Amino acid sequence: MSSVAAAVGQIAALAILLIITVPFVGKYLAHIYTSEKHWRVERWAYKLMRVDGDADQHWRSYAMSVLGFSLIGVLFLYAFARLQHAFPLSLGFSGFPAAGAFNTAISFVTNTNWQWYSGESAAGHLFQMTGLAVQNFVSAAVGLAVAAAFARALARSRSGGRIGNFWSDMVRTTFRVLIPMSFVGALVLIFFGAIQNFHGMHDLTTLTGGTQHLTGGPVASQEAIKQIGTNGGGFYNANSAHPFENPTPFTNLLQIYWELILPFSIAWAFGLIVKDKRQGGAIVATMAALFSMGVALTTWVEMAHPGLAPMLAGGALEGKEVRFGEAGSALFSAATTATSTGAVNSMHDSFTAAGGGVQLFNMMLGEISPGGVGSGLYGMLMLAVVTVFLCGLMVGRTPEYLGKKIGQREIILPALYILATPLLILIGDAIAITAKDGLAGMLNTGPHGFSEILYAVTSAGNNNGSAFAGLTSGTTFWDTLLGLIMLFGRFLPMIFVLALAGRFASTKILPPSAGTLPTHKPLFIALLASVAVVVVGLTYVPALVLGPIAEALS
What DSSP line would sit under 341-405, residue for residue? Answer: ----SB-GGGS-HHHHHHHHHHHHTTSTTTTSTTHHHHHHHHHHHHHHHHHHHHHTS--EETTEE
> Would 139 be classed as within a structural domain?
yes
**Torsion sign (Cα): 542, 543, 547, 549:** negative
Question: Is 484's pLDDT higher than 50?
Answer: yes
Question: In the structure, what pLDDT confidence band is assigned to residue 262 with cuts at 50, 70 and 90?
Answer: very high
> What does DSSP assign to residue 467?
-
Torsion of CA 225, 230, 231, 237, to 10 degrees: 90
Find the mean pLDDT for residues 256-285.
Answer: 97
- Distance linking the first and last C-alpha atoms of the chain: 34
Q: Identify whether the C-beta of residue 220 lies closer than 8 Å to the C-beta of residue 190.
A: yes
Q: Identify whether the C-beta of residue 83 lies closer than 8 Å to the C-beta of residue 97.
A: no
Q: How many CA atoms lie within 13 A of 219 on its CB side?
A: 30
Host domain of residue 256: 3-205+212-276
> Would 45 be classed as within a structural domain?
yes
User: Looking at the whole model, is its pTM more than 0.85?
Assistant: yes
Question: Is 397's pLDDT higher than 80?
Answer: no
> Would 517 be classed as within a structural domain?
no
- Among 50-59, 400-409, 498-507, where is mean pLDDT lowest? 400-409
> Would 135 be classed as within a structural domain?
yes
> Would 136 be classed as within a structural domain?
yes
> Would 448 be classed as within a structural domain?
no
- The rounded mean pLDDT for the chain is 92
> What does DSSP assign to residue 242?
S
Q: How many domains does the chain have?
A: 1
Give me the percent of the chain exceeding a pLDDT of 90. 76
Question: Quick one: which of 385, 348, 352, 346 has its CA closest to 363?
Answer: 348
Q: Which pLDDT score is estimated for 315?
A: 45
> Would 250 be classed as within a structural domain?
yes
Question: In the structure, what pLDDT confidence band is assigned to residue 208 with cuts at 50, 70 and 90?
Answer: confident
Question: Quick one: which of 401, 106, 400, 148 has its CA closest to 273?
Answer: 148
Question: Is 312's pLDDT higher than 60?
Answer: no
Q: Which pLDDT score is estimated for 1?
A: 52
> Would 454 be classed as within a structural domain?
no
Question: Is 440's pLDDT higher than 60?
Answer: yes
CB atoms within 10 A of CB 198: 12
Burial classification of residue 531, based on how many CB atoms lie within 10 Å of its CB (0-12 exposed, 13-18 middle, 19 or more buried): buried
